Structures are given as C-alpha cells and as structure tokens.
C-alpha cells in the first residue's frame, strides 16, 4: 500500500509526496535529516491530506497530477478530499 500525502509547512507552503508509512514520513520531515530538503528549512510540517493507493504507480501518477495544480486548486483538493 502506498499513500499520497500533502503537508503544510510552517511558512504556509505545501509539499506533496508518496510513502508506505505516512506517520514515519512526517516524523522524518519534522525531525530527521532524511526528510526532504524542501521541508527541512520549513519545519514544523503538518499533515493536511492523505489517501491510500494499491500500488506505487497509481500513487506516483496522482502525485504528479497534484503537483501540477495551482496553490488555490491544491487547497480545493485538500478541502474536498477528492479530485480537484
């Protein structure tokens, strides 16, 4: 199982990623050097959206789609919990 997740950073920006363990990944983003370079300087981060996918390919395709959305569209996506 893979999960797509969206984090809100301390500076108000959004970060989107995929993982097999959302809680572990949030911990990494907030406190370890293995978190993404982008979030390392924008701590703390907060989970604002997560959805599970059956395989990595599906999660990656949705991640790519979300990354192409505008900031406003991403917030609509997060708020609706569904496709924007």
Over residues 1-60, the pLDDT tens digits come to 999 999 999 999 999 999 999 999 999 999 988 888 999 999 999 999 999 999 999 999
* Dihedral class, residue 18 (left if φ above 0, else alpha if ψ from -120 to 50, else beta): beta
What pLDDT is attached to residue 82? 58
Q: What is the pTM of this model?
A: 0.92
**How many distinct structural domains can be found in the chain?**
1
Residue with tokens 């789609």: 65
Domain span holding position 53: 2-57+65-80
Q: How far apart are the first and last CA of the chain?
A: 23
Q: What is each CA distance from 37 to 3, 14, 48, 58, in whole angstroms?
A: 20, 14, 19, 24
Tokens of residue 49, six digits? 């959206």
pLDDT at 81: 78
Each residue's pLDDT tens digit, 56-79: 999 999 999 999 999 999 999 999
């Amino acid at each position: 199982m893979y999960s797509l997740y969206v984090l809100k950073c301390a500076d108000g920006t959004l970060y989107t990623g995929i993982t097999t363990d959302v809680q572990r990944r949030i911990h990494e983003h907030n406190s370890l050097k293995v978190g993404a370079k982008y979030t390392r300087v924008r701590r703390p981060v907060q989970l604002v959206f997560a959805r599970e996918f059956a395989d990595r390919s599906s999660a990656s395709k949705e991640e790519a789609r979300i990354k192409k959305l505008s900031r406003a569209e991403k917030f609509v996506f997060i708020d609706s919990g569904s496709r924007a």
